[in-house]
């Protein structure tokens, strides 16, 4: 009996220690940890699996841009989609890599998250068809268009319907959660919707041919950026210089990655050797992303008009109750210096 | 052994082997019309095997079974059969269980159900016609099982320790009840039991079976007047018969 | 108040109490961990979301219920037939059983995507997934039920002169009802999850599963919880429906007497009084 009591006490103590340690490590603020006098910045990705859009971040580490700025940038993979904002709010990350729509929704949910830099400068969302098949957006009546469940798709689809002069019930819109390109190539749907860098990469690495694409901006969708870097206002206030250093170094990493795409992708693959897709997919994807990043002179820079347009688009499809003023969504303050 | 001119049931020189060992060894037995014959014997003496052979469930390795002189070896459907387990079907009512024989062969008709209801009413279960078995006591369930057997109209019943699972008070009630049914309907009964008192109380003859390999060692006529009642159990004739049976049993208790 | 009515009222009160308890703990967790609405909304907010958005939720619920119900029916039928066939032949059983067990070990999420490619994005792939989830407990239970029918009862039927098929239909088949319903209760609870997974991979029609993802994508946590509550309700309702069906289909488990009474006049019967002791 006594041995049993001692045994239970030991197990309980060990459990308590383990739980406390787990709690302690998970709530450790970023600035408190220093490795070789570098401050750690945790960047939370937007998708539960890393892909080629993380090339600039990995190049920043591989080429020492972050180290020279005194930063140790760690990429954190979220457990699920649309959780990046929540992870920042919960203190599990310092800077987020996310979509513009998630910032708008975050503010609607009462989370004071702001965009501190554009990742892409253009709206590269559009329609995709099998290689060689021409896309005529005016002739979509009765066709099947694969869509995803994310908010960007929901905001953009009305422009597709308007351009095709059809109502939502006049086209079939099968919903996919992770992949609508495979069904497109298998002939199960007529058109797929996607951001074109991913669509091109997937089709090229799968079939060796370029898919037929049509940018949504060509038929009236607003030319607003899809991805941004974000941060909680509270973190930015207390880590302003780190944020500035991060963005400065990131701009350098962007420039280098655009100028040396193959080397950049190889550096990314060295950092993440086990990812799916491989060299061809990642290189095709990064090359297809470059056009969306904008001219070198305005890398990362944001404009208020973009945020007005995003909020307006979300409001008109009923996803946003009340558009806020753009200054609630973004700040360029950390891009200077 | 009493040989009636036309024995109702004849077991003729039946031998059964199992796994190389003899279970029944050239067993012969005759039961006359409306006779009540009990078989007593040690456990494992092959009484159940004898039942399976007579009911047609099992073919003997040699020997025959005759009913009214006609060979029925290995054929089922000629006798009624009742075990210690009532084997009542849980999703059928009392009436539904009584007509089971008809239901399983030609289909139960309303005439069968009326007969079943009459049978049940006559023997005290009139208030329980539509009850499910789980709502009845053990004794009532065995009564229903016996009525199911009677409803087959085979007039030959094989009863394998039907009251063994009941408490002694209920068992006595059931024995007296069986006696009255037997006297009412004049059926032919082959009855297996461990209980010597029960055997003597109920039967016209008590056959003593040996241990394995099973054969009939002795056949004792029970000359007690009918109709019988409780008083029989304490009469001097009863005690005398009991002594004889016990002696015979004791001799066979030595393992073969 | 009749006994049945009283029992039903008590049962409903207990159910309401259980729900109240769950909601209470839910609120407690939010309070204790200082959870904001964007992390975990309150049950009140989630239920209110269902109420206010009912025009959206209603067709979604109908769609998911359709997938669940049809898939359940198909899975139950296949499970039952498989169980009966496998009990009839030991060879068939030895051949098929390992394959069935393996089928359940495969994670549904893994097979859902190829199913969508094969069968498209309509109702069919969801039916397949739901049936997949439902049929196995049914097979196992029906097989066990048939294996446990009393050997003596079957012998009794044979002694009475029943042919093998007749005995099977009258004795073994009805004996499968109780284990069948056990299997159905298990399947019913998991069926709706199968429908949701089916919707997640590819869906031509919007259901509660697709709504879960869309709401999640716009940080609409009350919408997510509202849809989750609806899905839970479907699961619970499925279970209860099977329970009711069980009571109706197997009345001997809950009643002492059958509903239909034997019509019988006792006037012409000579009641046997000799051994009329107690009703034992």
Mind telling me how many Å the CA of A46 is from chain C's nearest CA?
11
Judgement on whether residues A175 and A256 belong to the same structural domain of the protein: no
Largest CA distance in chain C: 84
Alpha-carbon distance B86 to C57, whole Å?
55
Extract the tokens encoding A296. 């070198």
Nearest to A250 by CA among A65, A94, A109, A99: A65
Query: Which residues 83-122 on chain C approach chain A with CB closer than 8 angstroms?
Result: 113, 116-117, 120-121
Judgement on whether residues A169 and A77 belong to the same structural domain of the protein: no
- Is A14 contained in some domain? no
Judgement on whether residues C74 and C53 belong to the same structural domain of the protein: yes
Percent composition of chain C: helix, strand, coil (DSSP 3-state, to 5): 75, 0, 20
- Is B153 contained in some domain? no
Contact A41, A238 (CB under 8 A): no
Per-residue pLDDT at A258: 95
**Among A275-279, B74-78, C242-246, whose mean pLDDT is lowest?**
A275-279
- Is C263 contained in some domain? no
Judgement on whether residues C25 and C48 belong to the same structural domain of the protein: no
Strands A125-129 vs A191-195: parallel, antiparallel or unpaired:
antiparallel
Q: Which candidate in A100, A173, A176, A206 is best for mutational testing of the C interface (most C CBs within 10 A)? A: A176
CATH (domain of A68): 3.40.190.10
Judgement on whether residues C65 and C31 belong to the same structural domain of the protein: no
Per-residue pLDDT at B217: 87
Contact B121 C150 (CB under 8 A): no
Judgement on whether residues C75 and C135 belong to the same structural domain of the protein: yes
- Is B98 contained in some domain? no
- Look up the domain containing A154 and give its range: 125-219
Based on the structure, what is the number of domains in chain C? Answer: 2
Alpha-carbon distance B184 to B182, whole Å?
5
Alpha-carbon distance A120 to A227, whole Å?
6
Dihedral sign of CA atoms B232, B236, B241, B246 in order: positive
Judgement on whether residues C162 and C95 belong to the same structural domain of the protein: yes
Nearest to A152 by CA among A118, A112, A188, A123: A123
CATH (domain of B248): 3.40.50.300
Nearest to A81 by CA among C68, C215, C126: C215
- Is residue A218 reached through a cis peptide bond, with omega within 30 degrees of 0 on the bond before it? no
Judgement on whether residues A190 and A230 belong to the same structural domain of the protein: no
Strands A34-35 vs A113-118: parallel, antiparallel or unpaired:
unpaired
Q: Residues A126, A220, A191, CA angle at the centre, nearest 5°? A: 30
Residue of C nearest to A169 (CA): C205
CA distances from residue A275 to A189, A258, A278, B249 in whole angstroms, order as listed? 28, 22, 7, 86
Task: Pick A81's closest partner by Cβ from C113, C217, C220.
Answer: C217
Contact C117 A149 (CB under 8 A): no
Alpha-carbon distance C67 to C191, whole Å?
9
Based on the structure, what is the number of domains in chain A? Answer: 2
Q: Is C265 on the interface with B (CB under 8 A)?
A: no
- For residues C185-199, give the mean pLDDT: 93
Alpha-carbon distance A59 to A257, whole Å?
7
CA distances from residue A249 to A59, A60, A322, B225, C238 in whole angstroms, order as listed? 10, 7, 35, 118, 57
Mean pLDDT of chain C: 89
- Is A1 contained in some domain? no
Confidence of residue C30 (pLDDT cuts 50, 70, 90): very high
- Is A170 contained in some domain? yes
Judgement on whether residues C103 and C20 belong to the same structural domain of the protein: no
Contact A109 C221 (CB under 8 A): yes
Contact B118 C269 (CB under 8 A): yes
Nearest to C274 by CA among B224, B117, B149, B176: B176
Domain boundary (A200, A219, A238) is at A219
- Is C223 contained in some domain? yes
Judgement on whether residues A48 and A193 belong to the same structural domain of the protein: no
Judgement on whether residues C117 and C211 belong to the same structural domain of the protein: yes
User: Do chains A and B touch, with touching meaning 3 or more CB–CB pairs less than 8 Å apart?
Assistant: no
CATH (domain of C155): 1.10.3720.10
Of B41 and A224, the structure prediction assigns the larger pLDDT to A224
DSSP string computed for B9-38: EEEEEEEEEETTEEEEEEEEEEE-TT-EEE
- For residues B152-160, give the mean pLDDT: 91
Residue that is written with structure tokens 């060879």 in the block: C91
Please state the separation of Cα A41 from the chain's center in Å: 17
Q: Is C144 on the interface with A (CB under 8 A)?
A: no
Contact residues on chain C for A172, CB-CB shorter than 8 A: 204
Residue of A nearest to C41 (CA): A109
Per-residue pLDDT at C1: 57
Q: Which residues of chain A have pLDDT under 50?
A: 24-34
Judgement on whether residues A69 and A107 belong to the same structural domain of the protein: yes
Nearest to B78 by CA among B186, B161, B157: B157
Judgement on whether residues A133 and A213 belong to the same structural domain of the protein: yes
Q: At what angle do helices C3-32 and C43-52 cross, to 10 degrees?
A: 110
Contact C117 A172 (CB under 8 A): no
Contact A183 C200 (CB under 8 A): no
- Is A182 contained in some domain? yes
Contact C39 A90 (CB under 8 A): yes
Per-residue pLDDT at C274: 42
Judgement on whether residues C25 and C156 belong to the same structural domain of the protein: no
Task: Pick C280's closest partner by Cβ from B55, B129, B140.
Answer: B140
Per-residue pLDDT at A18: 60
Per-residue b/e over B195-211, b at no fewer than 16 CB within 10 Å? bbbbbbbbbbbbbbbbb
Per-residue pLDDT at B253: 52
Judgement on whether residues A130 and A213 belong to the same structural domain of the protein: yes
Any idea what DSSP says for residue A172? B
- Is C248 contained in some domain? yes
Strands B21-31 vs B9-18: parallel, antiparallel or unpaired:
antiparallel
- Look up the domain containing B31 and give its range: 1-76+188-256
Judgement on whether residues A167 and A235 belong to the same structural domain of the protein: no
Judgement on whether residues A147 and A180 belong to the same structural domain of the protein: yes
Contact B132 C279 (CB under 8 A): no
Judgement on whether residues C122 and C233 belong to the same structural domain of the protein: yes
Per-residue pLDDT at C4: 76
Any idea what DSSP says for residue C172? I
- For residues B216-222, give the mean pLDDT: 90
Contact B104 C167 (CB under 8 A): yes
List the beta bridge partners of residue A73.
A41
| CB-CB neighbours of A37 under 10 Å | 7
Per-residue pLDDT at A23: 55
List the beta bridge partners of residue B39.
B192, B207
Task: Pick A151's closest partner by Cβ from C39, C206, C218.
Answer: C218
- Look up the domain containing C19 and give its range: 1-35
pLDDT digits over A133-169, tens only? 999 999 999 999 999 988 888 889 999 999 999 998 8
Contact C219 A154 (CB under 8 A): no
Alpha-carbon distance B56 to A304, whole Å?
97
Alpha-carbon distance C198 to C190, whole Å?
13
Reply yes or no on whether the pLDDT at C147 is more than 50: yes
| Chain A residues with a Cβ under 8 Å from any Cβ in chain C | 80-82, 85-86, 89-90, 101-102, 105-106, 108-111, 144, 149-151, 154, 172-179, 182-183, 186, 188, 319
- Is A61 contained in some domain? yes
Per-residue pLDDT at B41: 84
Judgement on whether residues C154 and C135 belong to the same structural domain of the protein: yes
Alpha-carbon distance A22 to A45, whole Å?
23
- Is A335 contained in some domain? no
Based on the structure, what is the number of domains in chain B? Answer: 1
Q: Residues A17, A19, A22, CA angle at the centre, nearest 5°? A: 105
Contact C264 B90 (CB under 8 A): no
- Is A309 contained in some domain? no
Domain boundary (A197, A219, A241) is at A219
Judgement on whether residues C30 and C109 belong to the same structural domain of the protein: no
Task: Pick B105's closest partner by Cβ from C153, C160, C258.
Answer: C160
Residues listed for chain B: 256
Nearest to B105 by CA among C261, C169, C88, C175: C169
Nearest to B222 by CA among B196, B252, B247: B196
Contact B199, B190 (CB under 8 A): no
Judgement on whether residues A161 and A240 belong to the same structural domain of the protein: no
Per-residue pLDDT at C269: 56
Residue that is written with structure tokens 């958005």 in the block: C53
> Phi/psi of residue C267, each to 5°?
-65, -40
Alpha-carbon distance A145 to A174, whole Å?
7
Q: Residues C29, C31, C33, CA angle at the centre, nearest 5°? A: 65
Contact A110 C36 (CB under 8 A): yes
Judgement on whether residues A101 and A241 belong to the same structural domain of the protein: yes
| 3-class secondary structure, A100 | helix
| 3-class secondary structure, C64 | helix
What percentage of chain B carries pLDDT values higher than 90?
Answer: 57
Confidence of residue C267 (pLDDT cuts 50, 70, 90): low
Extract the tokens encoding B57. 């469930």
- Is B148 contained in some domain? no
Reply yes or no on whether the pLDDT at B207 is more than 50: yes
**H or E stretch covering A213:** strand A212-215
Q: Is C52 on the interface with A (CB under 8 A)?
A: no
Please state the separation of Cα C94 from the chain's center in Å: 27
Look up the pTM and report it: 0.81
Alpha-carbon distance C85 to B30, whole Å?
44
Confidence of residue B248 (pLDDT cuts 50, 70, 90): confident
Judgement on whether residues A70 and A196 belong to the same structural domain of the protein: no
- Is A310 contained in some domain? no
Contact A177 C201 (CB under 8 A): yes
List the beta bridge partners of residue A148.
A176
Judgement on whether residues C141 and C70 belong to the same structural domain of the protein: yes
């Amino acid at each position: 009996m006594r041995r049993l009591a001692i045994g239970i006490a030991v197990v309980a103590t060990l459990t308590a220690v383990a739980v406390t340690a787990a709690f302690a490590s998970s709530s450790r603020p970023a600035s408190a940890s220093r490795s070789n006098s570098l401050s750690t910045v945790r960047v939370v990705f937007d998708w539960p699996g890393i892909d080629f859009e993380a090339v600039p971040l990995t190049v920043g580490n591989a080429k020492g841009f972050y180290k020279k700025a005194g930063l140790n940038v760690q990429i954190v993979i979220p457990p699920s989609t649309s959780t990046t904002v929540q992870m920042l709010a919960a203190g599990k990350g310092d800077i987020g890599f996310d979509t513009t729509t998630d910032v708008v929704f975050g503010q609607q949910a009462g989370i004071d998250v702001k965009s501190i830099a554009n990742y892409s400068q253009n709206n590269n969302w559009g329609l995709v068809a099998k290689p060689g098949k021409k896309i005529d957006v005016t002739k979509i009546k009765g066709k099947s268009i694969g869509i995803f469940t994310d908010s960007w798709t929901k905001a953009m689809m009305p422009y597709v319907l308007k351009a095709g002069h059809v109502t939502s019930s006049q086209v079939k819109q099968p919903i996919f959660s992770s992949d609508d390109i495979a069904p497109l190539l298998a002939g199960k749907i007529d058109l797929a919707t996607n951001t074109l860098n991913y669509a091109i990469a997937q089709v090229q690495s799968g079939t060796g041919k370029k898919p037929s694409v049509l940018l949504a901006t060509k038929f009236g969708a607003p030319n607003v950026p899809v991805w941004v870097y974000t941060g909680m206002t509270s973190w930015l206030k207390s880590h302003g210089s780190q944020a500035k250093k991060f963005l400065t170094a990131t701009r350098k990493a962007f420039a280098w990655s655009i100028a040396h795409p193959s080397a950049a992708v190889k550096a990314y693959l060295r950092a993440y050797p086990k990812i799916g897709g491989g060299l061809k997919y990642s290189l095709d994807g990064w090359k297809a992303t470059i056009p969306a990043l904008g001219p070198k002179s305005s890398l990362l820079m944001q404009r208020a008009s973009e945020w007005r347009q995003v909020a307006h688009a979300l409001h008109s499809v009923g996803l946003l109750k009340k558009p806020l003023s753009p200054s609630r969504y973004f700040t360029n303050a950390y891009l200077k210096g | 052994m009493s040989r009636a001119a036309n024995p109702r049931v004849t077991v003729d020189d039946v031998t059964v082997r199992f796994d190389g060992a003899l279970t029944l060894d050239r067993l012969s037995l005759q039961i006359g019309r409306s006779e009540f014959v009990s078989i007593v014997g040690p456990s494992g003496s092959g009484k159940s095997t004898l039942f399976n052979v007579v009911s047609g469930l099992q073919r003997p390795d040699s020997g025959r079974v005759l009913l009214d002189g006609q060979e029925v070896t290995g054929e089922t459907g000629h006798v009624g059969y009742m075990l210690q387990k009532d084997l009542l079907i849980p999703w059928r009512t009392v009436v539904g269980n009584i007509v089971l024989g008809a239901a399983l062969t030609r289909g139960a008709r309303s005439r069968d159900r009326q007969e079943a209801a009459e049978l049940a009413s006559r023997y005290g279960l009139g208030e329980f016609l539509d009850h499910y078995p789980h709502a009845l006591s053990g004794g009532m369930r065995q009564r229903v099982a016996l009525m199911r057997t009677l409803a087959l109209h085979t007039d030959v019943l094989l009863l394998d320790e039907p009251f063994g699972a009941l408490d002694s008070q209920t068992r006595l009630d059931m024995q007296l009840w069986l006696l009255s049914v037997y006297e009412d309907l004049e059926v032919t009964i082959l009855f297996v039991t461990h209980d010597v008192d029960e055997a003597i109380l109920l039967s016209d003859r008590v056959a003593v079976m040996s241990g394995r390999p099973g054969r009939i060692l002795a056949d004792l006529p029970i000359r007690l007047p009918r109709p019988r009642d409780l008083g029989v159990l304490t009469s001097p004739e009863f005690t005398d018969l009991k002594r004889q049976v016990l002696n015979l049993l004791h001799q066979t208790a030595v393992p073969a | 108040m009749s006994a049945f009515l009283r029992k039903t009222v008590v049962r409903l009160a207990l159910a309401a109490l259980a729900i109240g308890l769950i909601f209470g703990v839910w609120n407690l967790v939010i309070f204790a961990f200082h959870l904001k609405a964007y992390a975990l909304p309150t049950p009140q907010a989630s239920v209110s979301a269902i109420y206010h958005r009912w025009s959206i939720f209603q067709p979604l619920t109908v769609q998911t219920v359709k997938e669940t119900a049809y898939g359940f029916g198909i899975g139950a039928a296949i499970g039952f037939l498989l169980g009966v066939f496998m009990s009839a032949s030991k060879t068939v059983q030895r051949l098929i059983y390992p394959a069935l067990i393996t089928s359940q070990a495969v994670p549904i999420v893994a097979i859902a995507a190829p199913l969508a490619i094969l069968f498209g994005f309509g109702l069919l792939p969801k039916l397949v997934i739901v049936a997949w989830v439902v049929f196995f407990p049914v097979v196992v239970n029906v097989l066990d039920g048939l294996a446990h029918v009393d050997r003596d009862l079957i012998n009794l039927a044979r002694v009475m002169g029943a042919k093998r098929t007749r005995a099977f239909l009258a004795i073994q088949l009805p004996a499968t009802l109780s284990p069948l319903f056990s299997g159905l209760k298990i399947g019913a609870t998991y069926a709706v999850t199968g429908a949701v997974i089916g919707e997640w991979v590819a869906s031509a029609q919007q259901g509660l599963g697709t709504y879960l993802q869309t709401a999640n994508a716009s940080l609409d946590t009350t919408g997510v919880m509202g849809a989750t509550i609806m899905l839970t309700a479907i699961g619970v309702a499925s279970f209860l429906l099977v329970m009711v069906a069980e009571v109706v289909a197997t009345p001997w488990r809950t009643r002492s007497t059958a509903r239909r009474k034997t019509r019988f006049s006792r006037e012409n019967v000579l009641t046997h009084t000799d051994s009329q002791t107690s009703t034992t």
